[in-house]
Structure 1
Amino acid sequence: MTHGGTVIEELTADHREVEELFAKIEALPPGHEARKQYAERAVIELVRHSVAEEEYLYPAVRSHVVGGEALADRELEDHKGVERLMRDLEGLGGEDPAFDHILTSLIQEVRIHVRDEEDNLFPRLKEVLPPPELSDLGGKVRHAKKTAPTRPHRASPHEPHALKALAPGVGLVDRARDAFTGRGKVEEEPDHRGEAQP
């Protein structure tokens, strides 16, 4: 799915990208080293996505959607649960039996969260915000993802103002660490004809 457009289009594109990574993980046997690589890539995308939602989407939901406070609070609780699973996954090797168990839980939790956002939150936001405001939020979310952290941090705030102040600096450090270690890079595997497959 193409990025750009409204906040709903942008975040839905993120959901599809993460689902593609999950499908690649599920297509590989337990213990396969590429599962770890795809999982790291998924965590990077999920953290960036979550930070952007917490900075811009949920404040908009609180301000504009009837019952938005409770709705945003529930979504934030989902984020905290997913974040715990991502932290538990960090440091585990792909061959560790706990890795597959935690990864399966993470995939399930994310899928439930995505379904809830797409079936409930996004339509409600679309009903109350005009297209120009949804597009403006889309631009803010895209910008936030570019500077967001790429790792789950134990002491990470979930309040929009704190995130906007701290996330770019933490994100810079995370991206430098990722570049140095190669985290999130997926080695291409040859297919049966010897051609690289994404």
Structure 2
Amino acid sequence: MSTTIGEYIKRDHDDFRLMFERLWNSSTSEGALRKEIYPFLVNRIISHHVAEEATIFPVMEKNAELLPITLVLIEEHRGMAMLARDLSELPYEDQLWRPRIFPFYDVISAHWAREEADVFPHAPFYFTEQDLIDAGTKFEKVLRQEWKIKGVHGGVPRVMYRR
């Protein structure tokens, strides 16, 4: 069975949730851990956004009914990039680092909810199963290219497996 774009996107969201959870449970004494996970997470998220904007979003924009939600999703990508950049400028040991990750998580969490609850469950009304599979194939290709450029991989960083 082939994988649809929605399934690829959900898989990434699940990886991101694990990394965010580890980061917001971190302390100021875990700056090295934050330094290893956070850039990896941000590069995975940026890769994910590039893949969405290169594959499914252009198709969605062509549908008048989907254009408004597509534009919202693109603007959320922009907002997340700003929040990610802001947090990356703060030293990992800073006492404000952990509180500052919450607004980033709030925006991305709302974005995931929009995609997972409002967009992809309704995708079969707008696209054929084959369209969604083809978009998934393209998404995975773009994603792997972006991972190679950014030096990341699927899943979570190895430091997450350490105790």
- The aligned counterpart of 2:48 is 49
Report the Cα distance in structure 2 between the residues aligned to 1:188 and 1:142, rounded to whole angstroms: 23
TM-score by length of 2: 0.85
Contact 1:28–1:35 (8 Å) recurs in 2: yes
Larger Rg: 1
Aligned runs of 1:117-128 on 2, under 5 Å? Answer: 117-128=115-126
- The aligned counterpart of 1:6 is 4
RMSD across aligned positions (CA): 2.3
- Cα separation, partners in 2 of 1:188 and 1:100, compared to 1, 3 Å: closer
- The aligned counterpart of 1:136 is 134
Measured after TM superposition, the shift of residue 136 of structure 1 is 0.5
- Corresponding residue SS for 2:49: helix
Which one has more relative contact order, counting CA pairs under 8 Å at least 6 apart?
2
> In the TM superposition, what whole-angstrom CA distance separates every residue of 1:76-122 from its partner, at most 9, and x where no partner exists?
11111001011112243211234223312111111111011111111
Report the Cα distance in structure 1 between the residues aligned to 2:159 and 2:116, rounded to whole angstroms: 31
Contact 1:31–1:95 (8 Å) recurs in 2: yes
- Corresponding residue SS for 1:187: helix
- The aligned counterpart of 2:159 is 187
Contact 2:80–2:104 (8 Å) recurs in 1: yes
Which runs of at least 4 in structure 1 moved beyond 6 Å after TM superposition? Answer: none
| Residue number among 68, 91, 97 corresponding to 2:95 in the alignment | 97
- Corresponding residue SS for 1:96: coil
- Cα separation, partners in 2 of 1:56 and 1:36, compared to 1, 3 Å: same
Identical columns (%): 21
> In the TM superposition, what whole-angstrom CA distance separates every residue of 1:155-192 from its partner, at most 9, and x where no partner exists?
xxxxxxxxxxxxxxxx73x43xx8xxxxx955367xxx
Report the Cα distance in structure 2 between the residues aligned to 1:130 and 1:146, rounded to whole angstroms: 24
Contact 2:24–2:101 (8 Å) recurs in 1: no
- Corresponding residue SS for 2:55: helix
Contact 1:31–1:96 (8 Å) recurs in 2: no
- Cα separation, partners in 2 of 1:35 and 1:135, compared to 1, 3 Å: same
Measured after TM superposition, the shift of residue 73 of structure 1 is 0.7
Measured after TM superposition, the shift of residue 43 of structure 1 is 0.6
Measured after TM superposition, the shift of residue 68 of structure 1 is 1.3
- Cα separation, partners in 2 of 1:31 and 1:103, compared to 1, 3 Å: farther
| Residue number among 62, 68, 71 corresponding to 2:69 in the alignment | 71
Contact 1:61–1:125 (8 Å) recurs in 2: no
- The number of equivalent residue pairs is 158
- Corresponding residue SS for 1:54: helix
Report the Cα distance in structure 2 between the residues aligned to 1:31 and 1:6, rounded to whole angstroms: 41
TM-score by length of 1: 0.71
